[in-house]
Amino acid sequence: MRSRTEKTAILALFSALALATGAIESLFPIPFPGVRLGLTNVFHFLALLIYGSAEAVMVASVRLFLAFLLTGNPFAFACSAGGLLCSLPLSIFLYKKYGDDLSVPAISVASAAAFNAGQVSVVVILTSEPSILAYLPVIMAIGSVTGYLVGYIAGNLRCRIESCRLRRSP
């Protein structure tokens, strides 16, 4: 029912939007290496909601690698990769397994927490400074808010995209 072309186009659009959001976010001051608003995560999360896990991984990795190519910053890459490595499997697991029991923002909050944990772990490993772990709770608390925001936006966008699609294809 859905055309492959449409899917390719939409996923490409998601990746591009994620990249753009990332670029905008990088303009803001950050409290901690790699800690950002996390709005880029809206797009792979959206891919998970609309299409599925494979597509989510695809959008996330395309954004990850393209951002690396564009900025040439291997450390931001390592941080994001560490975060995604923790958060992606968790959000896929929660969505597939508990999708009926958990709301979209809740899943997003959980993945944000996992993302932060992964990210801070990478920083700790790279700097050999375990004391940085002490900042994890604060980062996670902030991450919960942005996580909720991400989930809320992604949930809303899904409704809009799907209703728009319904209207177009009778």
Q: Which residues bind another protein (CB under 8 A)?
A: 26, 28-34, 71-76, 78-79, 98, 100-103, 105-106, 109-110, 113, 123, 126-129, 131-138, 140-141, 144-145, 148
- State the minimum distance, in angstroms, from the CB of residue 144 to another protein: 6
Residue 94, SS3 per DSSP: helix
Specify the residue, 2 or 98, whose C-beta has the smaller distance to another protein: 98
Phi-psi map region of 128: left, alpha, beta (phi>0 left; psi -120 to 50 alpha) = left
Nearest to 102 by CA among 115, 112, 91: 91
- State the minimum distance, in angstroms, from the CB of residue 56 to another protein: 19
- State the minimum distance, in angstroms, from the CB of residue 15 to another protein: 21
The values of phi and psi at residue 27, to 5°, are -80, -20
Specify the residue, 10 or 81, whose C-beta has the smaller distance to another protein: 81
- Asked if residues 25 and 17 have their Cβ atoms less than 8 Å apart, the reply is no
